[in-house]
Amino acid sequence: MEVSLPEGGLVRGIGTDLVECERIARVYERQQDRFLKRVFTEEERAYCLGMKDPVPHLAARFAAKEAVSKCFTTGIGERVGWRSVEVVHGERGQPLVRLDEAARNFLAALRGDEILLSLSHTRSHAMACAVLVRRAS
């Protein structure tokens, strides 16, 4: 099996986030669909809710959205919203970032080409690390 990794490049930004799964569980319990539809895309909801325990998966995606917004140096807000950042899976199951049009335009304005993402979770915590990269020319 041949595995290819992204070519080297220039790091333009980095963001991390750590979330307590219990916090996400409480919000989900209280707000249900309102929370899910405000924060997660349809594909993310389908993936997470298909899991035996969706909370750690929701928490990891929540952390990913925060981490990506931090590598943009904006946080979640006007330029990068909750659903501007979507976590999808690559061919090997690796987490990938899909951006909406506004976030892609902002990425280009920052002279970035892609965002690399790593996720991890336990029953109690979820974390994400996002790196905004400009590919080497």
Residues identified as active-site: 70, 121
Per residue in 32-88, pLDDT (tens digit) is 999 999 999 999 999 999 999 999 999 999 999 999 999 999 989 888 999 999 999
- Predicted confidence at residue 135, as pLDDT, reads 84
Fold annotation for 20-135: Ribosomal Protein L22; Chain A (3.90.470)
The first and second tokens of residue 25, run together, are 């569980």
The residue-averaged pLDDT of 129-137 equals 88
As to burial, measured by CB atoms within 10 angstroms (0-12 exposed, 13-18 middle, 19+ buried), residue 117 is buried
Query: The pTM is what?
Result: 0.91
Does residue 122 have a pLDDT over 60?
Answer: yes
Average model confidence (pLDDT) across the chain: 93
Dihedral sign from CA coordinates of 1, 132, 122, 32: negative
The residue-averaged pLDDT of 98-121 equals 95
**Residue spans per domain, the chain:** 20-135
